Chain A
């Protein structure tokens, strides 16, 4: 399979006829996943489907960030999504995936953490992003990051009475956002750089580079995976591809 996929790429073609920098279609985003969540989103990229939900509670700030709220990002690879996922505590793949998503959000400055402070040193909002892949048909990284961002865009703060969250009662105040980062992963197969692999193409991955890009075109987080290296020129090319793809993805995010 791996040789076959590479041979097709050598002919500048892909299994499903897309170009190397083309995402699968359709890309859909909907927001009604759970009415118990402060925000939620379901993202489909081709057959890949991921849901993300935002829960908000309050707590004491960390000692080193007394005037800032907190972000907690978690991905659970449910056994529903793939024959390769097993029940149990998160393994390295789930941990890496949640940290890639977390860093895209955190490092870009997407959340206005200072506005998430209620009383300095005493009480802050904790924004908890939980991401569950429902169908792993390839490129879970970008779908997960996209779902997290879409859910945050949709999220509101809960009602507080006497510093306690009134669960199930929401305000109309949106979770304060400053920037919308979108992550695009560029995969390396042989000498080729390709985006948004489907499940079959993923069998042939040599390496990958996930790149989080903001509206300004600046890069806020990168993560390389896989055991083959990238040259500096390949990294530069990958960033160029990611910027182009992110621009298109951004249009889907209304």
Chain B
């Protein structure tokens, strides 16, 4: 059966309501919250700071480290605390998607830690985490060529959609999840994963829709930075 109307009434290319806030954790060098619908991510940046073990130190640039995890009560069935294979992988792809826009050459020998936690999960958690982390890095004053904006696109039943929620991910006809992250300025995808079933044409269409969504997310991110730092920058 065709998917004619989204469960929450959104248009197929419409993102959920978004909210971003910078500087939510005073102790951290940089921090941010990003909410999309009912998915909430917080991120904190510590560093650049001394990096141990010392053999990891790079004389050319600082080392970026990311940690993503779900809080135990963020999902319906309690998640056992501590890293899982899923979170190890997401931590790694998150790191790889953020690093291209960072200039860490001034922070030789140091480490830069980005901690991302999901406090409430309703699909699209890695995207929300990346959006929060990108803001936290900007808040920490790390030189950046662009923000990274991230969204999950995909296919629910027979429709290409943007920003799937959990109900859509669990659609009885099956759903394809295609999370992306993008530097909007260059149009380059820095994260790309997919689970499900789509053909080449559908993937291209979904990516184009995702690009538009990333542009909207970047606006929300920039507004959040402006709210803390005034009109500086654009």
Contact = CB atoms under 8 A, between A and B. Distances in A.
Given A217-B199, A220-B197, A243-B200, A92 B192 contact: no
Interface stretch (A32-40, A95-103, A140-148): A95-103
Interface string B176-219: 00100011001111111111111110011001100100000000
Nearest to A63: B77
B186 A236 contact: no
Interface stretch (A21-29, A127-135, A222-230, A246-254): A222-230
Contact of A230 (B96, B192, B194, B200): B192
A220 B187 CA distance: 24
Interface stretch (B5-13, B51-59, B84-92, B109-117): B84-92
Interface residues of B, number: 34
A97 B195 CA distance: 15
B147 to A, nearest CB: 14
Contact of B211 (A103, A221, A232, A240): A232
Contacts of A217: 199-200
A95 B207 contact: no
Interface string B87-107: 011011100100110000000
A229 B198 contact: no
Nearest to B100: A227
B148 to A, nearest CB: 10
B191 A224 contact: yes
Given A95-B85, A95-B89, A222-B178, A229 B200 contact: no
B184 to A, nearest CB: 11
B199 A224 contact: no
Nearest to B204: A236
A222 B64 CA distance: 24
Nearest to B186: A229
A107 B195 contact: yes
A235 interface: yes
18 contacts: A92-B91, A96-B92, A221-B195, A222-B192, A222-B193, A222-B194, A224-B190, A226-B96, A227-B100, A229-B183, A229-B189, A232-B187, A232-B189, A232-B208, A235-B192, A235-B207, A239-B200, A240-B200
Interface of A: 63-64, 92, 95-96, 98-99, 103, 106-109, 209, 214, 216-232, 235-236, 239-240, 243
Given A96-B92, A219-B203, A227-B99, 7 more contacts: A107-B196, A220-B194, A220-B195, A224-B189, A228-B188, A232-B207, A235-B207
